[in-house]
Structures are given as C-alpha cells and as structure tokens.
Amino acid sequence: MLKINATPELKFDVLNKQIRESSEKHVRISHAIGQRYIAAGLAGRRIDIDGTPGNALGAYLDGSTITVEGNVQDATGDTMNTGEIIVHGNAGDATGYAMRGGSIYIRGNTGYRAGIHMKAYKTQQPVVVIGGKAGSFLGEYQAGGTIIVLDLEPPVTINGEVTAGAPMAREITGAFVGTGMHGGAIYLRTEKTPTLPKQIHVAMKKGTEIPEIKSYITKFCEYFSDVNKDSILASTFAILTPDSNNPYKQLYTSN
C-alpha cells in the first residue's frame, strides 16, 4: 500500500504524480488539505482519504473506488465514467457534474447544482445518493441517471457510538429542482408533494414500491452503518421525471 502524508506543502500535482507512478493498487492519503484532482481519470485503484480533498476529486474516474473520511469540495466526480466515490461527510457544489456512469454516495449534504448535466448511455447509468439535503438547481439539465436525496439527520457521536442527530430545519432541496430536466429520475424522501414546473411529473410512492432504488439504498446503508435500510424504504418518496408531453426543449429553442 502506498501511503501519502498530504501536508499543506505537498502540491496537488506532486501528489497526483506519486499516485499515477506507483504500482500499488491501494493508496492511503492522510491529512488531505485541499489538493485538487486526486485520482482524476484513474482506473483499477482503491484510494482512501483522511481530511478534505480539493475540487474535482475523481474527475473522469474510470473504475477506481475512492473513500473519504471527511468532507469534499466542489465538482466531486466531475464527468466520471465508472467507479465509486464514498463520502462520509458533506460535499460542495456541482457534485456529479456531467457524470456518465459510476456512483457517488454522500452521507451528509451537498451544495448547489448536484447532478447537473448527468447523462446515461446503454449500460452506463450514473447515480448520486445524498444522505442529507441538497442545494438549489438539483438535477439541472439532467439527461439520465438517478439522483436520490434521503433527508437523513446528520450523525453524531455519543460516548464513542455513532447515532442519528437532530433534524435540520431547512427543506430537503433548494429552489429550481430539475430545471431543464429531460431524462433520468430524481427521488426525494419526503411526505410533502413538491411544487415544481409543469415540465416535471411528480408521483408519490413508498420506497418499498420503487424497486429501482432498492439496490442503491442497500449499498448506501452498507457504507454508512448508522442508517437503517428498512426505515428508509418504508418512507414516502416524491419521484420526479420529465413530462414527455410537455418537454423543457420548448423553452430552449426558437421554434
């Protein structure tokens, strides 16, 4: 295993060169402090990170698995192809920007424009699962793939044991959810039917009635042991899909 101590003096390009030039399949990075582009385009590796990696973590990821024991910054999984990114904290803006495949699992919240320009092609079906809440413009221009927002309480540690904390007061997402959406689906764990533009179709179902999300919820709960799968699947979800009879394309063309 390659071990890298990412001190503030260690520049992102030097860190990434060490990873690329190593023959080790398992890399552990400690004390990450904003180094960008970690594991960009990387295939066939396992990357474990302590600390806070910088922007574009796992950009163009091509089959590696990244686990972060902390928060991540903006553009995590930017245009990733395959692989997995598991974040035990929160994520910044533009999580999963234009991702084409693979999966991102976030225990906490994410910022603005998560899943923007997500797309799918044949067996390439990207997924982003957000354990907490999402910011505004979730799924903006989404063309494929799956986004799931669970609105779970943040975990807290009491006497060394991780448990659920107090619920956060703000809404499960910010404004303008699904703006320009023309493919894929968004699943929001909520009892409240969201008010959305007429170009978005909304259906309310129990999680047990939505088989297409079960495998993602199962994996999420495997990664984050403080979460109860049965409780999540027993909850109500709002399912957001584009209305093919009233598509957004009418708003973006001159015809």
Report the first-to-last Cα separation within the chain, whole angstroms. 58
3-class state of residue 163 by DSSP: strand
3-class state of residue 201 by DSSP: strand
pLDDT value at position 255? 40
* List of residues 6+ apart from 177 with CB closer than 8 A: 136, 137, 138, 139, 186, 188, 194, 196, 200, 240
Name the residue type at position 202: V
| Residue of 164, 76, 198, 93 lying closest to 135 (CA atoms) | 93
The tens digit of pLDDT for each residue in 185-238 reads 999 999 988 888 888 999 999 999 999 999 999 999 999 999 999 999 999 999
pLDDT value at position 121? 84
Please give the model's pTM, rounded to 2 decimal places.
0.91
Q: Which residues pair with 65 in a beta bridge?
A: 46, 84
Assess whether pLDDT exceeds 50 at residue 240.
yes
Cβ count near 113 (within 10 Å)? 25
The tens digit of pLDDT for each residue in 68-126 reads 999 999 999 999 999 999 999 999 999 999 999 999 999 999 999 999 999 988 888 99
Assess whether pLDDT exceeds 90 at residue 10.
yes
Structural element, H or E, at residue 63 = strand 62-69
pLDDT value at position 254? 42
Give the highest mean pLDDT range of 18-32, 151-165, 168-182.
18-32
Res. 250 pLDDT band, cuts 50 70 90:
low
